[in-house]
């Protein structure tokens, strides 16, 4: 056997589990772990500027490629509490990340020692498992169990808290014979699949709702194959966007109160059957449950038993990993197809396509200041089908989901349930680290951008280039729009006269100077015709300097983006397309 510190054993386990990069900030109580990483080698490190930023980098890293698990590291006390937001975000979207924190010595845990906090108790509600390891010999097995838990059933994050004396204690451990534990994934039975397929086959206007679980299980190709076999149109959720390409003839559009398409909502309301696979029936997708479920039957397939019936009781539920279920769905569907048992869905699919080509929102505006719709039109023109979009929350995210196009899984990387402001920059850096050859384009409003703008320095230091589209209306735009119901515009304006930058009038923060001060490049655009050329120039700057490049676009101060409380009650505040030739970036021009 080999003697080593518990921290060294933990690093060996990380490597055996496939980890070669970590995001974090060192500190006194976690220094033994950093010493072990330095000694053992093989795990690279990106130094974040904020520990919450490190947790979101880990999220972006995980979300980029199937099988990835992001690791974030911090010291004791506030480092762990800072990472709670990242753990919450990861839990909400079923994203496995491993958070490692230092801790005060075991003898001091009950004495209110400096930066000693019960992080195990704090992190428990937002993780699959949170543990303070009190015995050095248990450290490698705690890490082994962490990886098994993160990969099993519904994926999610784990926090391991290591007292400093535990990290430094010597133990016996043989890394050469270490093996990861097998992950558990529930699988549907043939009888369950046949019953669900019977219900689908009886319907006249069925839909498939593809959730983030399809992407998590790396089953997007299977989802498309199943849709093509049955001829059933697909509605991706926000977390499932990219499971089927936007220009696929069976892609029926997104549904919901905010991040949705007019044609998607209309198709949902016209349907009589919905099979959800790997989705949660999130409230921003369903709106009023009464309106969403009226006059249609539901089958729900999900990896977590307690998700089935949580929002509403489906007509039939199946507990299964999405990939396992889809493999069996395809097997049975092929047999039924050979026997002539599957219905022809051609007329229904064509009806959905007609909506997709006509129920559109206008994007081409020549107004100055710029209307946000024009920004997304230009993004569609410049960035191709291989772009990876990263965004968080706000009117920018909502409008982006209404107007942008996504063609591949993991190419819309978005924190769906938690929606923390500031998520976008560090998550984009994690995406860049996971896929260095990708064209990564982030999208933020000015407040999301300002929340964790310091992480741009990490992008400059570690050569993580991407393009950040910053739409600036100097407002908390989504909150201002929500305040309309209270007849107020209160505490949401970010505008002020910047004495150092009079050329931006009262738009407040001089983002160009901030970005350049952090070692990155920035461009400012005020006219719609300059947006596309600025994106092209940003791409050139990014390739030349290998740093993040921010394109700030000065928007009109007040824009209301389409949203509502029910699928049949979405308010449209801007002009709609009356002729598809007026929508140069609509799906109609892509199919």
pLDDT means per 10 residues, the chain with 591 residues, are 93 98 97 97 97 97 97 96 96 97 92 87 97 98 98 97 97 96 97 97 96 96 97 96 96 93 93 96 90 95 96 96 98 96 94 92 90 94 94 91 95 91 96 96 94 97 97 85 86 89 90 96 96 97 97 92 85 75 46 33
Tokens representing 370? 């710029």
H/E run at residue 225: helix 220-230
Amino acid 588: pLDDT? 40
Q: Compute how many other C-beta atoms are within 10 angstroms of the C-beta atom of residue 137.
A: 15
What distance in Å separates the CA atoms of residue 109 and residue 160, rounded to the nearest whole number?
16
Q: Is 492 a catalytic residue?
A: no
441 close to 383: Cβ distance less than 8 angstroms: yes
Edge-first strand order for the sheet with 21-24 is 44-47, 21-24, 70-74, 97-103, 158-163, 129-132
Q: Is 25 a catalytic residue?
A: yes
- Name all contacts of 219-227 with Cβ < 8 Å and 24+ positions apart: 219/278, 219/322, 219/323, 219/326, 220/244, 220/408, 220/409, 222/323, 222/326, 222/327, 222/330, 223/277, 223/322, 223/326, 224/248, 224/250, 225/326, 225/330, 226/326, 226/329, 226/330, 226/333
Q: Is 421 a catalytic residue?
A: yes
Amino acid 586: pLDDT? 45
Active-site residue, from 479, 492, 514, 580: 479
What distance in Å separates the CA atoms of residue 99 and residue 122, rounded to the nearest whole number?
13
Q: Is 229 a catalytic residue?
A: no
H/E run at residue 206: strand 206-210
Tell me the CA distances in angstroms from 553 to 377, 427, 498, one per residue in order. Answer: 13, 21, 17
Tokens representing 525? 């655009």
The residue written with tokens 């992080």 in the block is 119
Edge-first strand order for the sheet with 440-445 is 412-414, 388-391, 440-445, 467-472, 549-554, 521-525
Active-site residue, from 476, 525, 547, 553: 476
Active-site residue, from 25, 43, 395, 512: 25
What distance in Å separates the CA atoms of residue 211 and residue 308, rounded to the nearest whole number?
14
Strand, coil or helix: what is 241?
coil
Task: Report the candidate in 516, 543, 532 with the shortest Cα–Cα distance to residue 436.
Answer: 543
Q: Is 555 exposed, middle or buried (0-12, 13-18, 19+ CB in 10 A)?
A: buried
Q: Which residues contact 248 (CB under 8 A, 6 or more apart)?
A: 224, 234
What distance in Å separates the CA atoms of residue 212 and residue 217, rounded to the nearest whole number?
9
Active-site residue, from 159, 277, 421, 518: 421
Tell me the CA distances in angstroms from 142 to 10, 133, 159, 161, 343, one per residue in order. Answer: 9, 8, 10, 10, 51
Active-site residue, from 14, 19, 21, 51: 51
Strand, coil or helix: what is 163?
strand
pTM of the full structure: 0.94
Q: Is 479 a catalytic residue?
A: yes
What distance in Å separates the CA atoms of residue 106 and residue 134, rounded to the nearest whole number?
7
Tell me the CA distances in angstroms from 60 to 57, 317, 359, 418, 425, one per residue in order. Answer: 5, 31, 33, 14, 10
Taking phi over 0 as left and psi of -120 to 50 as alpha, with beta for the rest, 548 belongs to: beta
18 close to 69: Cβ distance less than 8 angstroms: yes
């Amino acid at each position: 056997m080999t003697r080593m510190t518990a921290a060294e054993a933990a690093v060996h386990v990380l490597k055996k589990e496939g980890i070669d990069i970590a995001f974090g900030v060192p500190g006194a109580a976690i220094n033994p772990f950093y010493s072990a990483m330095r000694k053992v080698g093989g795990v690279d490190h990106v130094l974040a500027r904020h520990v919450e930023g490190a947790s979101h980098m880990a999220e972006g890293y995980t979300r980029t490629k199937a099988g990835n698990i992001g690791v974030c590291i911090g010291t004791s006390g506030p480092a762990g509490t800072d990472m709670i937001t990242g753990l919450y975000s990861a839990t909400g979207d079923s994203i496995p990340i491993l958070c490692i924190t230092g801790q005060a010595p075991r003898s001091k845990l009950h004495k209110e020692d400096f930066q000693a906090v019960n992080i195990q108790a704090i992190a428990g509600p937002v993780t699959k498992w949170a543990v303070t390891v009190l015995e050095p010999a248990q450290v490698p097995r705690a890490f082994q169990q962490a990886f098994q838990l993160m990969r099993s059933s519904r994926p999610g994050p784990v926090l391991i808290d290591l007292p400093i004396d535990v990290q430094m204690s010597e133990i016996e451990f043989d890394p050469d014979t270490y093996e990861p534990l097998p992950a558990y994934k529930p699988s549907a039975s043939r009888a369950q699949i046949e019953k669900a397929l019977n219900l689908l086959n009886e319907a006249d206007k069925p839909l498939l709702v593809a959730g983030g679980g399809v992407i998590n299980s790396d089953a997007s190709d299977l989802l498309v194959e199943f849709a093509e076999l049955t001829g059933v149109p697909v509605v991706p959720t926000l977390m499932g966007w990219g499971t089927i390409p936007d220009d696929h003839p069976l892609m029926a559009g997104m549904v919901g109160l905010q991040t949705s398409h007019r044609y998607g909502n209309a198709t949902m309301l016209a349907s009589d059957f919905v099979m959800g696979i790997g989705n949660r029936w999130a409230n921003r997708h369903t709106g009023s449950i009464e309106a969403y479920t009226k006059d249609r039957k539901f089958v729900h397939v999900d990896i977590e038993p307690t998700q089935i019936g949580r929002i509403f009781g489906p007509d039939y539920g199946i507990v299964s990993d999405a990939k396992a279920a889809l493999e069996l769905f395809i097997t049975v569907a092929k047999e039924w197809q050979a026997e002539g048992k599957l219905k022809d869905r051609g007329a229904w699919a064509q009806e959905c396509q007609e909506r997709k080509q006509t129920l559109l929102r206008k994007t081409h505006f020549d107004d100055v200041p710029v209307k946000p719709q024009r920004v997304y039109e230009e993004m569609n023109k410049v960035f191709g089908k291989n772009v990876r979009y990263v965004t968080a929350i706000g009117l920018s995210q909502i409008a982006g989901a209404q107007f942008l196009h996504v063609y591949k899984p993991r190419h819309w990387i978005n924190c769906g349930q938690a929606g923390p402001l500031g998520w976008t920059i560090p998550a984009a850096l994690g995406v860049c680290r996971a896929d260095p050859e990708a064209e990564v384009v982030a999208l933020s409003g000015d407040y999301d951008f300002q929340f964790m703008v310091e992480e741009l320095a990490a992008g400059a230091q570690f050569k993580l280039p991407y393009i950040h589209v910053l739409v600036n209306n100097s407002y908390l735009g989504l909150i201002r729009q929500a305040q309309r119901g209270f007849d107020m515009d209160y505490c949401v304006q970010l505008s002020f006269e910047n004495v150092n930058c009079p050329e931006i009038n009262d738009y407040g923060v001089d983002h160009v100077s901030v970005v350049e001060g952090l070692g990155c490049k920035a461009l400012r655009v005020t006219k719609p015709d300059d947006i596309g050329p600025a994106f092209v120039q940003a791409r050139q700057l990014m390739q030349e300097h290998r740093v993040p490049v921010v394109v700030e676009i000065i928007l009109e101060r007040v824009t209301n983006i389409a949203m509502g409380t029910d699928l049949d009650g979405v308010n449209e505040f801007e002009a709609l397309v009356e002729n598809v030739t007026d929508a140069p970036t609509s799906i109609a021009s892509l199919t």
